[in-house]
Every structure is written in structure tokens, then in C-alpha cells.
Amino acid sequence: MTEPLFIYNTLTRTKEKFEPLHPPLVGMYVCGPTVYSDVHLGNCRTFVSFDLVYRYLCFLGYKVRYVRNITDAGHLEGDRDEGDDKFAKKAKLEQVEPMEIVQKYTLGFHEVMQLLNTRPPSIEPTATGHICEQIEMIKQILANGYAYEVNGTVYFDVEKYNQKYPYGLLTNRQLEDLIAGTRELGGQDEKKGRLDFALWIHAKPEHVMRWPSPWGWGFPGWHIECSAMSSKYLGDTFDIHGGGMDLQATHHTNEIAQSQACHQKAPVRYWMHTNMLTVNGTRMSKSAGNGFLPGELFTGAHPLLDKAYSPMTVRFFMLQSHYRSTLDFSNEALKASEKGFQRLMSTYALLENLRTGSSSSSNIKELEEKCYAAMNDDFNSPILLAHLFEGARIIQAVHAGSETISSEDLVTLKKFMKGFLFDVLGLRSEATLSNELMEGTVGLVLSLRKEAKDRKDFAQSDKIREELNKLHIEIKDSKDGTSWSINQ
RNA sequence: GGUCCUGUGGCCGAGUGGCUAGGCUGAGCUCUGCAAAAGCUCCUACUGCGGUUCGAAUCCGCACGGGACCUCCA
């Protein structure tokens, strides 16, 4: 840990020096997916961003407990505490049990996360697995006087809460402004205040996913799970809470209110929010129907896609923008990422067989420091990548003989290139077919080609190269001989 | 309407007031039997108008454009 790490905190709207409550331990909670449908690329961006955060904290030596939940109950269609349960609706549509929906999309989510090479969280708790904890928490909030029950449904009393704590803290908004933005309560409403939200919801007879509670059969509201599970695994106050920006105004605002009302402490020290992935400048979202499924991207099966893009290309594409900026999705941008990523990987492969000299023509130590500085500045991965490309330039130059590197610097270069590319950015080479059999076979073919070249039979040597190219095996002739790589 | 964010070269995308971000694309050159790869060079931008300043893409104001949230969404 050379320099201090700075994190942009949504609470204060500034970059703050990161100081964990109990170093070297760090507690981090990230809002995970609601598993009632496939994750789309926008969802993935958030999880890749927090994977970067998790990886870098670990890289710095922190012992991180990373909790990311799976929402598998209690999420209604609207946030007015009425309407259909998302899982029940989907289950009806697919004619299966709600828990089959949960299982199906949880597995799909994990598969995508693996392809994108995100590290699994330390704990991945589900809402249905923590009903007791949620009920206990609601009881405490009731006991503290910040909630009330109506016909088996328990509501959070926002106005009462606001008398003691600032409710609109996270979005810097006043309660009056918030109320002005909501509709009038009708005669059939059970809630007292327009902003009140449900902690526990009375289950109608046809509702399958239901649990007994002090207020009768029902199910938890959407927001309470995160409060209950984060405090259970990370404590009443913990270091980092993350999620997409779209959760900031409602979900996270309510989370803070619930936790504060229950424990009488601010739950989170650093709030982090990732920005949206956009398509043609508009947010990618499920309801807008402009979402890309990761699978469509990896196979190219989508009308807006020119071709398939590999998972690492997609990850690299995401890392090329800062997590707090919007990132616009386009074929051109993805193609650029594909090329850049492949160049970085093929250049990295040269690192193993680099000749060393008595001195270095570039300042390797300084470059390493710049990499740390980039990440310490609120996880600025695009800047880090710019520095890694500088590293790639040096590797190529040394390889070509126009620059030199000392053996000591080569060790440093290897160490941080590997560390940042693979451990921090979580990239991995996708040319995995180079096993022993391939080495031998391609080697044999190339030796035949060399014989043809030696007798100036270029028709033959070009034909071999052409055929290998068709198999995506790329040939590079140089003074030292011929090398090959798999070009996907 | 309310609360905010944002406007950078062909495309994507960083930028802490002064010194070329970076990637991709395009053009030229070097290397080379030809390719490919790599290297070098070039195309050097900051929505507009004011203001602060010795100096602004960077700070302030106004205008215009784009977006997000205030209804479910990472």
C-alpha cells in the first residue's frame, strides 16, 4: 500500500480517503440481481465494476468480506406496494413454480459472472434464506416507533423518521420536494404518508411465496432484505455499500432509513454508485427493451451486432471507461476494445523471453507507481490501462531491440504487468487451445513451411499460411523464426 | 415541474488551471519474397457566448444540446 486510496462517496459527493473501520478487514455489500429474468449487459457492468473494487482491495492486502445478495422474493412490479410479485408473474408465464424461476436465473447469472471472470463474493445470501432476520428487524423498527401495521402490512413511517434523521440524504433532497413528486393518496390507501413504503406485505390467498409473521402470512418488502443481511454479515455499520445509480434514490435511501431506524446508527461509511450502460445514449434497461443479453453478445446473435464479442473483450470494453461515467455501447467501440485487448495480451506473452541489458531506457519503477496512482484515484481503470499500454510499448521496443531493460527492472515489469492485468483488472488470455498436441502439430506444419520457403517455393508456403489462417492460427515471420498465435 | 449529471478529435474514452492521456480507425514510412505483426511519423480536439486569471477543456455565469432520477430496473 504505497499511497492512500481515495473513493468517491455518494454521501458527501467528494473523493474521500479510504479508512476501513477495522483494518485490515473491509466489509463490502453490493446489491445483487433480482433473479426473475436474464441479467443483461447493464447489470453485468455494475458487477464487473465492483469486481474491480473487490480485486483491487484484495490486491492492496485488505482482507475483504464481500457480500452480494440474490433477490429471490418480495420484489413487486411497482414500488407502490401493490401489483404482482415479479417471480409469481414469471412463474405463471412459464408455468412453473416461483422457486424454479429463481433457480433458473440464479444459475444463468452465475454462468455469466464466471464467463466475465468476476470473482465470486464471499457470501451470497438470498432474501428467502433470511426471512427470520427480516422479521426481527421489522419488529425492532416497530418497537422504535418508525413503522406501523395496517391489515397485516407493515409500513415505514418516512415523515416520522425525517423528523429525526434526514431522509433524502443520499440524493440531497428535501422531504417536501420528494412528496411533491408523488401522487396523492387515494381513499383505498392504507399508508399514512405518501412516501411510506412496505417492510412486510400481507399475502393474498393466491400468493405462493409466503411466510408466517407476527402480522400474519406475508412476505418481506424489497428493501428490508439488504438491511437485514448486510447488518447480519457485516455489522450495524460497515465500510462500503455499492450498487447501480438507479438504486440510489429509492432502494438505498430506504435502506439507510430502515437501518438507522433499527440500529440508530448510520449503516454505511462509503456509498458507491456505478453509472449506467447506454445504447445510443439511452439507458439500457429491462423495461425499455434495449438490453443485450450477455449470451447474445458472445454469440453475435442480435440484430444490432455485427459479430460476436468474447467475454474478455466485453470486460475490457467496460474497464476502458470509469465506473462513474456512462458507457455507450456500440459495435465500433467493441471492435476497438477487441483489438486493444488482443494487442495487450499478445504483447504480454513476449515478456517471458525478453533480453535484459545493463540498464533500462525507460523508468519502470515510475510506471509501476503510476499504475497504483491511477487505481488509488477512485479505481480509475481507463488511466491504468493507458499506463499498461505504455508498458506494452516498452515490451515491444525491448523485443525489437530499440530499447533496453535491466534484469532487475524486468522482474518489476513482469510483476506489475501480471498483477494489474490479471489480478486487478481480472482479464485473462482467451487463447487457451495451445496445449501440447497443438504445439507439436503446428510446429510440424511450420517446419514444412520453412522447408518450402528455403527452396523459394512461396506458393507452397503461402498456401500453408493461408490454410492456417482459416483455422484462426496467425503466423508471424521474423528474423528469429516463425511464431504463431490463436486469433479468435 | 422538481433534483442532479453531462457536452472532448472519424469512433470510444481519461483529464488535478500552464507541459502531446490512452485505445481503435485512416494516411505515410521502416522491416519483409509477399503477408501478418511490430515500430516510427502524421491527422492535435475540447458545444456557443461572456467573465475570473499572466494563463482555462479544466473555475464562475448565461444560452443551447444530451442524459439520469423523482414509477419497476445494476
pLDDT digits (tens, 9 = 90+) for A233-259: 999 999 999 999 889 888 999 999 999
**A260-295: pLDDT as tens digits:** 999 999 999 999 999 988 887 778 877 777 778 888
What sign has the CA pseudo-torsion A140, A143, A147, A152?
positive
Distance A337 CA to B36 C1' (A): 20
A369 touches strand B (CB under 7 A): no
Distance A388 CA to B24 C1' (A): 16
Of A70-84, A128-142, A171-185, A233-247, the range with the lowest mean pLDDT is A70-84
User: How many angstroms from the chain centroid is the CA of residue A232?
Assistant: 23
A478 touches strand B (CB under 7 A): yes
SS3 of A403-463: CCCEHHHHHHHHHHHHHHHHHHCCCCCCCCCCCHHHHHHHHHHHHHHHHHHHCCCHHHHHH
Percent of chain A residues topping a pLDDT of 90:
48
- Between A179 and A146, whose confidence is greater? A146
Q: Which of A61, A63, A88 is nearest to A74 (CA)?
A: A88
In the complex, which nucleotide's C1' lies nearest to the CA atom of residue A222? Answer: B72
Q: What is the pLDDT of residue A284?
A: 85
Q: What is the pLDDT of residue A380?
A: 92
Residue A345: CB atoms within 10 Å: 19
Distance A369 CA to B34 C1' (A): 44
Residue A237: CB atoms within 10 Å: 15
Q: Domains of chain A: which residue ranges?
A: 6-274, 278-424, 436-486
**Mean model confidence pLDDT for chain A:** 87
Could you tell me the three cell numbers for A411? 522482474
A403 touches strand B (CB under 7 A): no
User: Could you give the CA distance from residue A430 to residue A488 in angstroms, rounded to a whole number?
Assistant: 8
Give strand B nucleotides closer than 7 A to any protein Cβ: 1-5, 11-15, 21-25, 32-40, 66-74
Distance A361 CA to B30 C1' (A): 21
Distance A234 CA to B52 C1' (A): 48
A396 touches strand B (CB under 7 A): yes
Q: Tell me the mean pLDDT in the region A341-367.
A: 87
- Residue A473 phi/psi, 5-degree rounding, is -100, 120
Could you tell me the three cell numbers for A414? 513482469
Distance A234 CA to B15 C1' (A): 36
- Residue A42 phi/psi, 5-degree rounding, is -65, -45
Q: What is the pLDDT of residue A3?
A: 66
Whether the upstream peptide bond of residue A24 has omega within 30° of 0, thus cis, is: yes
**A403-434: pLDDT as tens digits:** 889 999 999 999 999 999 999 999 988 765 55
**A457-488: pLDDT as tens digits:** 888 888 888 888 887 787 777 766 777 777 65
∠ Cα A249 A69 A213 (to 5°): 90
pLDDT above 90 for A231: yes
In the complex, which nucleotide's C1' lies nearest to the CA atom of residue A483? Answer: B37
Alpha helices in A165-213 (DSSP H): 175-180
In this prediction, residue A382 has a pLDDT band, given cuts at 50, 70 and 90, of very high
Distance A407 CA to B57 C1' (A): 41
**A60-84: pLDDT as tens digits:** 999 999 999 999 987 665 545 555 6
Q: What is the pLDDT of residue A307?
A: 85
- Between A178 and A213, whose confidence is greater? A213
CB within 7 A of strand B (chain A, 260-299): 274, 276-278, 281-288
Alpha helices in A264-406 (DSSP H): 294-299, 311-319, 331-350, 364-376, 381-400
Domain at A6-274: CATH architecture: 3-Layer(aba) Sandwich (3.40)
Contact A238, A269 (CB under 8 A): yes
Q: What is the pLDDT of residue A66?
A: 97
- Residue A171 phi/psi, 5-degree rounding, is -110, 5
In this prediction, residue A455 has a pLDDT band, given cuts at 50, 70 and 90, of confident
A251 touches strand B (CB under 7 A): yes
Domain A278-424 has CATH 1.10.1040.10: no
- CA closest to C1' of B66 belongs to A281
In this prediction, residue A1 has a pLDDT band, given cuts at 50, 70 and 90, of very low
∠ Cα A427 A63 A47 (to 5°): 40
CB within 7 A of strand B (chain A, 144-173): 171-173
Q: What is the pLDDT of residue A79?
A: 46
In this prediction, residue A448 has a pLDDT band, given cuts at 50, 70 and 90, of confident
User: Could you give the CA distance from residue A446 to residue A258 in angstroms, rounded to a whole number?
Assistant: 67
Q: Tell me the mean pLDDT in the region A11-22.
A: 89
